[in-house]
Chain A
Amino acid sequence: MLSAIVLLPLLALIPVLLLPERYSRSVVWSASFAALLLVLYGARDVWEGNGKAWLVDWTWMDALGVRLLLNCDGLTYILLLLTALLYPLLLLAEPAGRPVSRPRSYYALLLLMQAALFGVFLARDALLFYVFYELALIPIFFLTAFWGGEGSRRITLKFFVYTLAGSLFLLVAILYLYWRTPEPHSFSFEAFYGLDLTLQEQIWLFAALFFAFAVKIPVFPFHTWQPDTYTVAPLAGSMLLAGIMLKMGIYGLMRLVLPVVPDAVASWGWVAISLCVAGMLYGSFIALRQQDLKRLVAYSSLAHVGLIAAGVLSASSSGMQGAAFQMFSHGIIVYALFLAVDILERRYGTRRMDELGGVAGQMRRFGWLFAVVLLGSVGLPLTNGFIGEFLLLNGLFLFRAGLAALAGMTIVLSVAYMLRWYRLVFFGDVRQEGRGDLSAAEGLALLVCAAVIVGTGIYPMPLLQLTEPVAERLLSFVSESTAALLP
Chain B
Amino acid sequence: MQPAAVLLVAFPLLGFLINGLAFPKLSKPLSAWIGCIAVLASFLLTLLFFIQSFSETAPLQLKLFEWMATAGVQVSFGFWIDRLTLVMLLVITGVGFLIHVYSVGYMKEDAGMGKFFAFLNLFIFFMLLLVMADSFLVMFIGWEGVGLCSYLLIGFWWKNSEYTAAANKAFIMNRIGDLGFLLALFLMFHTFGSTDYREVFRQALSYPTNDATVVAITLLLFVGAIGKSAQIPLYTWLPDAMAGPTPVSALIHAATMVTAGVYLVVRSHMLYTLAPVSLEVIIWIGTATSLWAALIALRQDDIKKVLAYSTVSQLGFMFAAAGAMALTSSMLHLIAHAFFKALLFLGAGSVIHALHHEQNMRHMGGLRRLMPVTFVCMAIGTLAISGVPPLAGFFSKDEILLQVASRQGWAFIVLVITSVLTAAYMFRLLFMVFYGNFRGTEHEREKIHESPRVMTVPLMVLALLSGIGGVIGLPALVGDVHALNRYLSPVFLSNPRLMAPEPSHTMEVVVMILSVLVAAGVGVWAYRRYHLQPVARTWSLSGKPRFYRWMHDKFYVDECYQFVFVRPAEWLGDYLRSRFDPKLLDGLVEGLGRLVQRGSALVSRVQTGSISGYLLWMVGGLVFLLWYALTQW
A65 at the interface (CB under 8 A from B): no
Q: At the interface with chain B, which of A85-93, A189-197, A458-466?
A: A458-466
| Partner of A416 from B155, B172, B187 at Cβ < 8 Å | B172
Q: Which of B67, B72, B179, B593 contacts A161 (CB 8 A)?
A: B593
Instruction: Check: A288 CB closer than 8 A to any chain B CB.
Output: yes
Contact status A461-B66, CB under 8 Å: yes
Instruction: Scan residues 312-328 of chain A and give those whose CB is less than 8 A from a CB of chain B.
Output: 316-318, 321-322
Tell me, in angstroms, the Cα distance from A404 to B187 when the chains sit together. 11
- A397 surroundings in chain B (CB, below 8 A): 183, 186-187, 190
Within the assembled complex, what's the spacing in Å between the Cα atoms of A81 and B183?
32
Task: Evaluate contact between B593 and A419: CB separation under 8 angstroms.
Answer: no
Bound: A404/B189 CA distance, A: 14
User: Which chain B residue has the least Cβ–Cβ distance from A221?
Assistant: B585
**Distance of A66 Cα from B69 Cα, bound (Å):** 38
Q: Are A380 and B148 in contact (CB under 8 A)?
A: yes
* A224, A282, A401, A464: the one within 8 Å of B70 (CB): A464
B69 close to A461 (CB less than 8 A): yes
Query: Which chain A positions have C-beta within 8 A of B574?
Result: 289
**Are B68 and A381 touching (Cβ within 8 A)?**
no
- The stretch that binds A, out of B93-101, B139-147, B276-284, B381-389, is B139-147
B4 within 8 A of A: no
Are A382 and B141 interface neighbours, CB within 8 A?
yes
Q: How large is the interface on B (under 10, 10 to 19, 20 to 34, 35 or more residues)?
A: 35 or more
A411 within 8 A of B: yes
Q: Which of B48-74 contact A (CB under 8 A)?
A: 65-73
> Does the CB pair B70–A423 fall under 8 Å?
no
- Residues from chain B with a CB closer than 8 A to the CB of A429 are 159, 161
Q: Are A461 and B71 neighbours in the complex by a CB distance under 8 Å?
A: no
- A427 interface hit (Cβ, 8 Å): yes
Instruction: Give A299's nearest chain B residue, CB to CB.
Output: B577
Instruction: Report the bound CA distance from A419 to B582 in whole Å.
Output: 25
Q: Determine how close the nearest CB of chain A comes to the CB of B577; give it in whole angstroms.
A: 5
A 198-232 binary contact with B (CB < 8 Å = 1; else 0): 00000000000000000000000100110100000
Q: Is A339 an interface residue (CB 8 A)?
A: no
- B576 and chain A: residue at smallest CB distance: A286
Cα of A299 to Cα of B569 in the assembled complex, Å: 16
Interface footprint category on A: 35 or more
Which chain A residues lie closer than 8 Å to B179 at the CB level? 405, 408-409, 411-412
Looking at the complex, which of A10-18, A141-149, A340-348, A386-394 is the stretch in contact with chain B?
A386-394
Which A146-166 residues have a C-beta within 8 angstroms of B?
158, 161-162
Residues of A close to B183: CB separation below 8 A? 397, 401, 404-405, 408
Interchain Cβ contacts within 8 Å, total number: 139
A419 and B573 in contact, given A391-B73, A408-B179 (Cβ under 8 angstroms): no
Q: Is A360 an interface residue (CB 8 A)?
A: yes
**Are B581 and A419 in contact (CB-based, < 8 A)?**
no
Interface SS majority for chain A = helix
| Residue B450 interfacial (CB < 8 Å) | no
Q: Which residue of A lies closest to B586 (CB)?
A: A224
- Distance between Cα atoms of A290 and B577 in the complex (Å): 8
**Top 3 nearest A-B pairs by Cβ distance?**
A289-B573, A317-B71, A397-B186
Given A288-B570, A381-B140, A427-B164, 16 other A-B contacts at CB below 8 A?
A227-B581, A282-B576, A285-B572, A289-B570, A289-B573, A289-B574, A318-B72, A360-B158, A375-B148, A391-B70, A393-B182, A394-B72, A394-B189, A397-B187, A428-B159, A461-B65
Can you offer 9 A-B residue contacts whose CB atoms are under 8 A?
A381-B144, A394-B72, A405-B179, A408-B182, A412-B176, A423-B161, A459-B67, A464-B68, A468-B70
Q: What is the interface of chain B, defined by CB distance below 8 A to chain A?
A: 24, 65-73, 140-141, 144-145, 148, 151, 155, 158-159, 161, 164-165, 167-168, 171-172, 175-176, 178-179, 182-183, 185-187, 189-190, 569-570, 572-574, 576-577, 581-582, 585-586, 589-590, 593
Residues of A within 8 A of B (CB): 158, 161-162, 221, 224-225, 227, 282, 285-290, 316-318, 321-322, 358, 360-361, 364, 375, 380-382, 387, 390-391, 393-394, 397-398, 401, 404-405, 408-409, 411-412, 415-416, 419-420, 423, 426-429, 459-461, 464-465, 468, 471-472
